[in-house]
Chain A
Amino acid sequence: MSNTRLIARLDIKGSNLIKGIHLEGLRVMGLPNEYALRYYLQGADELIYMDCVASLYGRNNLSDIIMAAAKDIFVPMTVGGGIRSVDDATDVLRVGADKVAVNTSAVANPKLITDIAERFGSQCMVLSIEAKQVTQDKWEVYTDNGREHTGLDVIEWVKHGVSMGAGEILLTSVDKEGTRKGFDVPLVKAVSTAVDVPIIASGGMGKIEDLLTVVNEANADAVAMADILHYNRAVIGDIRSLAENEGLSVRHYE
Chain B
Amino acid sequence: MNKPKVTVIDYGVGNLLSVKRGLEKCGAKVILTSDPKIILDSSRVVLPGVGAFSNAITTLKSLGLVEVLYELAKRKTPLLGICLGMQLLLEESQEFGLSEGLGLIPGLVIAVPNQTISGEKQKIPHIGWSPIENSHNKGWENTLLKDNKVGDSAYFIHSFMAVPSNPDNLIAECNYGGIRIAAVIGKDQITGCQFHPEKSGEVGLKILRNFCAD
Q: Residues of A at under 8 Å CB distance from B?
A: 1-3, 5, 40, 43, 45, 67, 70-72, 74-76, 90, 93-98, 119-124, 167-168, 196-198, 221-222, 251-253
Question: Could you list 5 A-B pairs, sorted by A, with CB under 8 Å?
Answer: A2-B129, A67-B17, A74-B21, A167-B125, A221-B123
Bound state CA distance, A12 and B160, in angstroms? 35
Please determine whether B17 and A251 come into contact, CB atoms closer than 8 angstroms. no
Please determine whether B155 and A93 come into contact, CB atoms closer than 8 angstroms. no
Given contacts A95-B17, A98-B199, contact A251 B129 (CB under 8 A): yes
- Of B18, B121, B129, B201, the residue contacting A98 (CB under 8 A) is B18
B22 at interface by CB-CB < 8 Å:
yes
B63 at interface by CB-CB < 8 Å:
no
Given contacts A124-B50, A196-B123, A251-B128, contact A70 B21 (CB under 8 A): yes
Given contacts A75-B155, A96-B17, A196-B121, contact A121 B129 (CB under 8 A): no
Given contacts A123-B159, A252-B151, A253-B153, contact A74 B25 (CB under 8 A): yes
B56 smallest CB distance to A (angstroms): 11
B176 to chain A: which residues have CB within 8 Å?
A: 2
Please determine whether A121 and B205 come into contact, CB atoms closer than 8 angstroms. no
Given contacts A2-B130, A252-B131, contact A74 B199 (CB under 8 A): yes
B196 to chain A: which residues have CB within 8 Å?
A: 76
Please determine whether A120 and B125 come into contact, CB atoms closer than 8 angstroms. no
Known: A71-B24, A123-B125, A198-B127. 14 other contacts (CB 8 A): A2-B126, A3-B130, A5-B128, A70-B18, A70-B21, A74-B199, A74-B200, A74-B204, A76-B155, A76-B196, A96-B17, A98-B157, A121-B50, A222-B128
Nearest first, the 3 closest Cβ-Cβ pairs linking A and B are: A2-B128, A251-B129, A251-B153
A1 to chain B: which residues have CB within 8 Å?
A: 122-123, 177
B22 to chain A: which residues have CB within 8 Å?
A: 74
Bound state CA distance, A252 and B177, in angstroms? 17
Bound state CA distance, A90 and B176, in angstroms? 31
Q: Residues of B at under 8 Å CB distance from A?
A: 13-15, 17-18, 21-22, 24-25, 50-52, 121-131, 151-153, 155, 157-159, 176-177, 196, 198-202, 204-205
Please determine whether A123 and B127 come into contact, CB atoms closer than 8 angstroms. yes
Bound state CA distance, A253 and B130, in angstroms? 11
Closest to B154 in A: A251
Bound state CA distance, A200 and B25, in angstroms? 30
A67 to chain B: which residues have CB within 8 Å?
A: 17
- Of B17, B125, B199, the residue contacting A122 (CB under 8 A) is B125
Given contacts A3-B128, A98-B199, A196-B121, contact A120 B155 (CB under 8 A): no
Given contacts A5-B129, A251-B128, contact A120 B13 (CB under 8 A): yes
- Of A2, A70, A97, A124, the residue contacting B123 (CB under 8 A) is A2
A248 smallest CB distance to B (angstroms): 13
Bound state CA distance, A90 and B13, in angstroms? 8
Bound state CA distance, A221 and B157, in angstroms? 14
B52 to chain A: which residues have CB within 8 Å?
A: 121
A210 smallest CB distance to B (angstroms): 20
A93 to chain B: which residues have CB within 8 Å?
A: 13-15
Closest to A124 in B: B50
Bound state CA distance, A74 and B196, in angstroms? 10
Bound state CA distance, A164 and B150, in angstroms? 39
A72 smallest CB distance to B (angstroms): 8
Bound state CA distance, A72 and B22, in angstroms? 8
Bound state CA distance, A70 and B17, in angstroms? 8
Bound state CA distance, A2 and B122, in angstroms? 9
Please determine whether B121 and A97 come into contact, CB atoms closer than 8 angstroms. no
Name the residue among A123, A252, A253 with the largest chain B CB count within 10 angstroms: A123
